[in-house]
A and B are shown apart, each in its own frame.
Chain A
């Protein structure tokens, strides 16, 4: 009972701080209102490039290795949801090696009585980029209808679990890369490379050759961010086992990454100034 009470207090305290940061964030953004909306709109535009690529290619071919236009669109729509959470909350873990470790910003974080990882995330978040998620849902609904998909009640809890797993994979990979900054003390340019690789996850894995597929499944598991889980939601069962592994892989990767993060924090000695 006492534990539950503590957990409840902790969750409500983190939520309270989250809303407080969000309120501050909105205030700063509303100072340049028009620019804020241009920023959000241009982010959607940037995402639409891949959508246009898919649509144009499928005017020339009926299917890519047995995957129809609607199936590829469905995968892309699913991918947009964890990707929106990543761009809204995890993208700036990118700043950790340079801004927080090398320049010593972490000093300020560590003297406060709140989890350091959580502070970095809420301090650097761009929650408006979550608009990518409804866009993704819309694409899934549209392409689902087009392929004559009949949804059942269990699709919704299943989708939530799969999206949770996919998001945890993003959180895990980027937390791990950020944590390397505690050892390298500065950027080593890995993040853009991994970002480019993460984009491989939006297409059917059957497109790729053996070693690439292996890496995307077991090393940097971006296949679980888009492709595997979405096949289950479109009721194609040839990758069902992989799809069901999504939350497991998510929890494992975030757990490992968070341990590395904690070890990094222990190692951190400030800038000495």
Chain B
């Protein structure tokens, strides 16, 4: 009897928690909705940026069939998909966390009855849903109308969509850990930029990892970055399919678990050694 009651309480507790995080996702989505016009210029920005890489790769491929295992058409699709997907998983999580730490607002967060990291992920996810609807999809469609690019087979398309959830989570976790570095240095822009450089280069956003020399690929292999962009893109292009594609999903799960542990450890360590500015 008492066991059953305890279980019931536990269930209610879980349900309440879930409701809290779902509410946070919804809240962030609605918040972003208020600023949707500012995303409109973002679409133009992305188009200009993608345009630069389109012209460059177009020129790089003149007189060549294959580079790094991709032909020209695949490369152009790769670049477009990589950037459009980035517009979905990108978040200011690192900046938000770092600024909260720098300004000491983190102290207020510490006394609130919820899990700090979960709240941040929930809000980032709300923003990501918004970004899919108002940024990634319109940008993808607009670019497709200007310059049609390759579409995946339906099996690969489905696995690709699944890996996008992994891309979002891994990117969010890396951002979270980067944000926590603000506990150790007050230079938030330094952290933000260093993370950006690493992600741009090693996630495969700017260059497919297959372009790097063998020694660099061997190092990149030991990090979670290429699971964010490079591997999902290969699934989209059909370079990885079937079992190999499913392996990517499991690799992402592996990294989500590892990064989750690292983030928790970082958080515990940092909270013990927290120095609040002027406090």
A residues adjacent to B (C-beta < 8 A): 32, 34-36, 38-39, 41-43, 45-46, 48-49, 52-53, 56-57, 59-61, 64-65, 188-190, 192-193, 196-197, 199-200, 203, 206-209, 212
The answer to whether A207 and B206 have CB atoms under 8 Å apart is no
Given contacts A48-B197, A52-B201, A196-B45, contact A57 B207 (CB under 8 A): yes
The answer to whether A189 and B55 have CB atoms under 8 Å apart is no
User: Residues 180-206 of chain B: 1 if any A CB is under 8 Å from the residue's CB, otherwise 0?
Assistant: 000001110110011011001100001
The answer to whether A56 and B38 have CB atoms under 8 Å apart is no
The answer to whether B55 and A212 have CB atoms under 8 Å apart is yes
The answer to whether B185 and A34 have CB atoms under 8 Å apart is yes
Q: Once bound together, how far apart are the Cα atoms of A57 and B70, in whole Å?
A: 13
The answer to whether B38 and A196 have CB atoms under 8 Å apart is no
User: Residues 42-68 of chain B: 1 if any A CB is under 8 Å from the residue's CB, otherwise 0?
Assistant: 001100110110011011101010011
Q: Which 6 A-B pairs give the minimum distances between C-beta atoms? A: A35-B187, A38-B190, A189-B41, A42-B193, A207-B59, A38-B187
Q: Which of B44, B185, B194 contacts A193 (CB 8 A)?
A: B44
Number of B residues near A (Cβ < 8 Å) is: 33
Q: Once bound together, how far apart are the Cα atoms of A199 and B185, in whole Å?
A: 31
B-chain residues with CB within 8 Å of residue A46 when the two chains form the complex: 193, 196-197
Q: Which of B59, B68, B187, B194 contacts A32 (CB 8 A)?
A: B187
B residues adjacent to A (C-beta < 8 A): 38, 41, 44-45, 48-49, 51-52, 55-56, 58-60, 62, 64, 67-68, 185-187, 189-190, 193-194, 196-197, 200-201, 206-207, 211-213
The chain B residue sitting closest to A209, CB to CB, is B55
A-chain residues with CB within 8 Å of residue B201 when the two chains form the complex: 49, 52
Besides A38-B187, A203-B55, 15 other A-B contacts (C-beta < 8 A): A32-B187, A34-B185, A35-B186, A35-B190, A41-B190, A42-B190, A43-B193, A45-B194, A46-B196, A49-B201, A53-B206, A53-B207, A65-B62, A188-B41, A206-B59
The answer to whether B41 and A61 have CB atoms under 8 Å apart is no
The answer to whether B200 and A49 have CB atoms under 8 Å apart is yes
A-chain residues with CB within 8 Å of residue B207 when the two chains form the complex: 53, 56-57
The answer to whether A203 and B56 have CB atoms under 8 Å apart is yes
The chain B residue sitting closest to A36, CB to CB, is B187
Q: Which of B60, B185, B211 contacts A64 (CB 8 A)?
A: B60
User: What's the least CB distance linking A155 to chain B, in Å?
Assistant: 28
User: What's the least CB distance linking A61 to chain B, in Å?
Assistant: 6
The answer to whether B45 and A56 have CB atoms under 8 Å apart is no
The answer to whether B185 and A35 have CB atoms under 8 Å apart is yes
A-chain residues with CB within 8 Å of residue B211 when the two chains form the complex: 56-57, 59-60
The answer to whether A59 and B187 have CB atoms under 8 Å apart is no
A-chain residues with CB within 8 Å of residue B38 when the two chains form the complex: 189
The chain A residue sitting closest to B40, CB to CB, is A189
Q: Once bound together, how far apart are the Cα atoms of A34 and B197, in whole Å?
A: 20
A and B contact pairs by CB, cutoff 8 A, 18 listed: A32-B186, A32-B187, A35-B190, A36-B187, A49-B200, A49-B206, A53-B207, A56-B211, A57-B211, A61-B64, A61-B67, A64-B60, A192-B41, A196-B45, A203-B56, A207-B56, A209-B55, A212-B55
Q: Once bound together, how far apart are the Cα atoms of A39 and B192, in whole Å?
A: 10
A-chain residues with CB within 8 Å of residue B194 when the two chains form the complex: 42, 45
User: What's the least CB distance linking A56 to chain B, in Å?
Assistant: 5
B-chain residues with CB within 8 Å of residue A64 when the two chains form the complex: 56, 59-60, 62
A-chain residues with CB within 8 Å of residue B206 when the two chains form the complex: 49, 53
Q: Once bound together, how far apart are the Cα atoms of A124 and B179, in whole Å?
A: 26
User: What's the least CB distance linking B200 to chain A, in Å?
Assistant: 6
The chain A residue sitting closest to B48, CB to CB, is A196
The answer to whether B59 and A45 have CB atoms under 8 Å apart is no
User: What's the least CB distance linking A214 to chain B, in Å?
Assistant: 14
Q: Once bound together, how far apart are the Cα atoms of A74 and B60, in whole Å?
A: 18
Q: Which of B52, B193, B213 contacts A200 (CB 8 A)?
A: B52
Q: Once bound together, how far apart are the Cα atoms of A53 and B193, in whole Å?
A: 17
The answer to whether A197 and B60 have CB atoms under 8 Å apart is no
Given contacts A57-B211, A65-B59, contact A193 B41 (CB under 8 A): yes
Q: Once bound together, how far apart are the Cα atoms of A36 and B185, in whole Å?
A: 11
